[in-house]
Copies of this chain bind each other. A is one copy, B any other.
Amino acid sequence: MELDRLRRNIAKHIALSDSEFLHFASLVQRRRLQRRDRLLIPGEVCRFEGFVDAGCLRVYCTDPGGSDHILYFAPEDWWFADIQSFVSESPADLGIDALEPTEALLIDRASKERLYIEVPKFERLFRIMTQRALVALERRMIGAMAKSAEERYFDFKRRYPTLEDRIPQYHIAAYLGVRPECLSRLRRQITARES
């Protein structure tokens, strides 16, 4: 199984020997998804933590009124899970599904716990990765409180440079925290100003 992208991703955080990486590799499963395929349905238990090898997922929640809100996108090289559900084996609040044909690498909870015991270095890896995710989310949270929809739109483009023309705009709106109509109007204003 080709796992180069995963290996390079891990190498950004910690150094691993071949055998340590292979140990990890033996615990992950590849999962192929078509556009719109659902990897996690809200209410189910999230039995995996995953890494996107190709394609793109959205991690979202649906509010009582039926609107979706996207917590983050997971294009290639991103990790994802409903951590709350994964860790406590409780029903997920979040949903995860594919916005494009996607290949994800999944590890289940028991395997991950075993990994921590057998190769303690992975405890460090996941601590560092979780820390980075927390920092990123803190920035996003501050952006949501302090910035205008337009600034948040530019932040989105900076954060996901390749994504804008790969996915429908209503998903971008669901990430920004505005309605699709509002994003449409914002974009019109921006292009009007530029010309």
Contact = CB atoms under 8 A, between A and B. Distances in A.
25 contacts: A61-B142, A63-B147, A67-B146, A71-B141, A83-B131, A83-B134, A83-B138, A84-B138, A87-B131, A87-B135, A93-B139, A116-B124, A120-B120, A120-B123, A123-B123, A123-B124, A123-B127, A126-B127, A127-B130, A130-B130, A130-B134, A141-B141, A144-B145, A144-B177, A145-B177
Contacts of A83: 131, 134-135, 138
A69 B146 contact: yes
A11 interface: no
A184 to B, nearest CB: 18
A182 interface: no
Taking residues whose C-beta sits less than 8 angstroms from the other chain, chain A's interface range is 20 to 34
Contact of A127 (B93, B127, B177): B127
A133 interface: yes
A140 interface: yes
Name the residue in A67, A126, A142, A145 with the highest tally of chain B Cβ atoms < 10 Å from its Cβ: A145
> How many subunits of this chain does the assembly comprise?
2
A137 interface: yes
Interface of A: 61, 63, 67, 69, 71, 83-84, 87, 93, 116, 120, 123-124, 126-127, 130-131, 133-135, 137-142, 144-147, 177
Given A63-B147, A67-B146, A123-B124, 17 more contacts: A61-B146, A69-B146, A83-B131, A83-B138, A84-B135, A84-B138, A93-B142, A116-B124, A123-B127, A127-B127, A130-B131, A130-B134, A133-B134, A134-B134, A134-B137, A141-B144, A145-B177
